[in-house]
């Protein structure tokens, strides 16, 4: 076979165009028959930190116009941005790593306070519950996000956004919040107010801005709906944590 002849893509089997390096079906680069260490490292660097990579576009969009970026994603430009669920999970993992690396307790940094005074038995139960929450805090925080999406869907119900689209908005915003708070973890550890700054950056006003562009509502309408949604999310998260903790206590911490 000469270089000018078409060949089947080793990934999907579709015949490539004559002289083409990329498969017209799956997009795989078939220019190199064997892997090279230099090429692998350069590809990874380009995919993760390249100015035009999906991650770079996602971060730029979340900084310059989160609502417009999510609108573009749900409208069909999904390959241009990082998958929202993956972005949120990786950001959450980074936040846990950064928080623990500077000597902070993720449970305290997340705003969850669970201490008890009184009898020795009550203190023992409180300590066990705290350990339970610490072990599964990342999963519980992630599972609480659909509560916020459901609240936004109900409060903005006239804007014809379904639950999945609202969940995409919430996943992107939560992921960006975790990134901000991870970056501010050293400030929190040394000065004690990094967490407050993180909540200001990714707090009610920023969420209102994103909701305004995403749902197409006025500033005031977006603000009060956002505040109510955040309150409902807080209450729903408490109920979710309680649904995990109470059966565990009743079963004796089994």
Specify the pLDDT at position 51. 44
pLDDT, average across residues 212-238: 93
What would the mean pLDDT of 100-124 be, rounded to a whole number?
Answer: 66
pLDDT exceeds cutoff 70 at 109: no
Spatial neighbors of 219 by CB under 8 A, at least 6 apart, are: 208, 212
| Confidence at 183, pLDDT banded by 50, 70, 90 | confident
Q: How many other C-beta atoms can be found within 10 angstroms of the C-beta atom of residue 20?
A: 12
Which is more confidently placed, 153 or 247?
A: 153
Q: 41-45, 48-52, 109-113: which range is least confident on average?
A: 48-52
Q: If you write DSSP's letter for every residue of 144-175 in order, what string do you get?
A: THHHHHHHHHHHTGGG---HHHHHHHHHHHHH
**Report for 17-21, 132-136, 237-241, 245-249: range of highest mean pLDDT:** 237-241
Lowest-pLDDT range of 10-14, 72-76, 92-96, 135-139: 10-14
CA–CA distance, 219 with 185 (Å, rounded to integer): 31
Instruction: Give the sign of the dihedral formed by CA 178, CA 183, CA 184, CA 186.
Output: positive
Give the pLDDT band of residue 123 (cuts 50, 70, 90): low
Q: What is the mean pLDDT of the chain?
A: 78
pLDDT value at 205 more than 80: yes
pLDDT reported for residue 238: 83
Note whether 165 and 81 are within 8 A (CB).
no
- Write down the pTM of the prediction: 0.75
């Amino acid at each position: 076979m000469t270089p000018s002849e078409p060949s089947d893509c080793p990934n999907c089997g579709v015949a490539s165009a004559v002289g083409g390096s990329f498969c017209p079906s799956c997009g795989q680069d078939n220019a190199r028959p064997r892997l090279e260490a230099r090429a692998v490292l350069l590809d990874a660097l380009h995919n993760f930190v390249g100015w035009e990579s999906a991650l770079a576009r996602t971060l730029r969009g979340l900084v310059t116009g989160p609502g417009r970026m999510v609108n573009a994603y749900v409208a069909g430009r999904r390959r241009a941005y990082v998958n929202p669920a993956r972005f949120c999970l990786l950001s959450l993992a980074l936040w846990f790593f950064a928080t623990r690396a500077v000597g902070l307790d993720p449970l305290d940094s997340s705003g969850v306070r669970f201490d008890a005074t009184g009898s020795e038995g009550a203190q023992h139960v409180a300590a066990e519950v705290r350990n339970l929450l610490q072990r599964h805090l990342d999963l519980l925080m992630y599972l609480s996000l659909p509560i916020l999406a459901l609240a936004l869907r109900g409060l903005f119900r006239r804007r014809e956004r379904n639950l999945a689209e609202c969940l995409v908005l919430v996943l992107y915003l939560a992921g960006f919040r975790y990134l901000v708070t991870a970056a501010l973890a050293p400030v929190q550890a040394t000065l004690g107010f990094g967490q407050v700054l993180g909540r200001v950056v990714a707090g009610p006003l920023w969420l209102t801005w994103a909701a305004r562009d995403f749902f197409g509502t006025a500033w005031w309408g977006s603000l009060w709906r956002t505040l109510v949604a955040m309150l409902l999310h807080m209450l729903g998260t408490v109920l979710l944590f309680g649904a995990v903790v109470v059966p565990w206590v009743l079963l004796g911490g089994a």
